[in-house]
């Protein structure tokens, strides 16, 4: 009777490698659970909190303003559930762009490990910045921000938002929250994690601050401005990886980066320092979302100024490093010529050319001289 040997294989578990290779499928299954929950009456009340925007109000139509009722939104604690769901969507979109676009380009270009990670980072961010710029610009035009800049501070607090405005902020928070698990999924190096955490934390701090303090109008304008400048940087870096001679994009980005910092400070001071400071209602009221008090205004301006100073400091260091690398690369290698001495050694040096290499204009070789003498 044959005796069966016990198998040493352990049952399949969610190992580290399994999660890394199949994280997009796992996240897709979790997102599908929320979508399928909308189909059943028992679970629809819970699923709808994750999938759709919450806290909507209907303003009746008036003869002066509009012929139809307006549907507006405000924020609340349930927005965290919506942010979580769209964070899952951002992870799925991230994986799609990585697999079907960036990985195919990487196989063709044969980048090194360092360039490979930077190319992936710039590819993902340039797609996000471009999409956010187009979306934000559409909101600015549709709500007449460009034609009437006083809308940035007029009628504060801006606690009621249109669907596009609230969805834009939910998407922004979801994207930058999704960057935390992506550090694990993309196997980010340990030395790069602190830089990435600071980078992500600054975005979340300012976006959430504008959202919670009802400064969504100012936050939208500053985000579009900042995203446009960052898009130029990352798209220039993508072109630089394909052709290292390409430097024009960085020059244009450097000029716009400085202008972007100046415009950010001007708009912030104009809105918070002058517009809100002259408003009639300057009382702290959590029920109406009014945070127009001196302490909050100082904190907002201080955070913006410190962030802009930090970015300028990083920018100056980046430009100095590029200037050093460029000057080192372009510096000609000056080699000392051997001293010319009289006699046989000088003739030999002349015959062998510069630095002992035979040139086409040099003298005949010793073998040829022997043939001539014969």
Which residues are registered as beta bridge partners of 70? 59
The answer as to whether 207 is a domain residue is yes
Best CA proximity match to 74, nearest among 300, 292, 287: 287
pLDDT of residue 374: 43
pLDDT of residue 69: 72
The answer as to whether 19 is a domain residue is no
How large is the C-alpha radius of gyration of the chain? 31
> Does the pLDDT value for residue 17 go beyond 50?
yes
167/67 Cα distance (integer angstroms): 24
The answer as to whether 37 is a domain residue is no
* Alpha-carbon separation of residue 161 from 48, 109, 254, 286 (angstroms): 20, 45, 34, 17
Number of domains present in the structure of the chain: 1
User: What are the tokens at 33?
Assistant: 């659970």
The answer as to whether 364 is a domain residue is no
Give the chain's mean pLDDT. Answer: 83
The answer as to whether 189 is a domain residue is yes
Domain that holds residue 90: 52-60+68-328
The answer as to whether 34 is a domain residue is no
The answer as to whether 363 is a domain residue is no
Threshold 0.85, pTM exceeds: no
Give me the mean pLDDT over the 36-46 stretch: 92
The answer as to whether 345 is a domain residue is no
Percent of residues, the chain, with pLDDT higher than 70: 80
pLDDT digits (tens, 9 = 90+) for 54-71: 999 988 766 555 556 788
User: What are the tokens at 157?
Assistant: 């607090």
Give me the mean pLDDT over the 200-212 stretch: 97
> Does the pLDDT value for residue 303 go beyond 50?
yes
Among 145-149, 182-186, 301-305, top mean pLDDT goes to 301-305
225/259 Cα distance (integer angstroms): 10
Collapsing DSSP to helix, strand or coil, 57 comes out as strand
199/61 Cα distance (integer angstroms): 44
pLDDT of residue 78: 95
274/299 Cα distance (integer angstroms): 15
């Amino acid at each position: 009777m044959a005796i069966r040997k016990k198998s040493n294989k352990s049952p399949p578990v969610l190992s580290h490698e399994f999660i890394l290779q199949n994280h997009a499928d796992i996240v897709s299954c979790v997102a599908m659970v929320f979508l399928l929950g909308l189909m059943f009456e028992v679970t629809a009340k819970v699923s709808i909190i994750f999938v759709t925007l919450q806290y909507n109000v209907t303003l009746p139509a008036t003869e002066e303003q509009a012929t139809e009722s307006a549907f507006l939104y405000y924020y609340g604690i349930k927005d965290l559930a919506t942010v979580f769901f769209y964070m899952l969507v951002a992870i799925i979109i991230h994986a799609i762009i990585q697999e079907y676009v960036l990985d195919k380009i990487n196989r063709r270009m044969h980048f090194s490990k360092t360039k490979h990670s930077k190319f992936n980072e710039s590819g993902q961010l340039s797609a996000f910045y471009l999409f956010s710029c187009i979306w934000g610009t559409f909101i600015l035009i549709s709500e007449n921000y460009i034609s009437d800049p006083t809308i940035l501070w007029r009628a504060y607090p801006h606690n009621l938002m249109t669907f596009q405005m609230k969805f834009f902020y939910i998407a922004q928070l979801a994207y930058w929250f999704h960057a935390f698990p992506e550090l694990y999924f993309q196997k980010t190096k340990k030395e790069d994690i602190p830089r990435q955490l600071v980078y992500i934390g600054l975005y979340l701090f300012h976006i959430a601050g504008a959202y919670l303090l009802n400064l969504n109008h100012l936050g939208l304008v500053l985000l579009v401005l900042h995203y446009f400048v960052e898009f130029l940087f990352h798209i220039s870096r993508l072109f630089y990886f394909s052709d290292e001679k390409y430097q024009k994009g960085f020059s244009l980005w450097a000029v716009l980066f400085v202008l972007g910092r100046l415009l950010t400070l001007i708009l912030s001071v104009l809105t918070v320092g002058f517009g809100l400071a002259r408003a009639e209602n300057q009382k702290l009221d959590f029920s109406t979302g009014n945070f127009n008090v001196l302490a909050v205004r100082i904190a907002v301006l201080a955070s913006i100024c410190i962030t802009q100073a930090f970015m300028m400091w990083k920018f100056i260091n980046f430009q100095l490093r590029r200037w050093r690398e460029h000057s080192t690369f372009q510096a000609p290698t000056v080699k000392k010529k051997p001293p010319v001495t009289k006699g046989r050694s000088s003739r030999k040096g002349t015959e062998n050319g510069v630095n002992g290499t035979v040139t086409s204009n040099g003298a005949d070789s010793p073998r040829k001289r022997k043939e001539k003498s014969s």
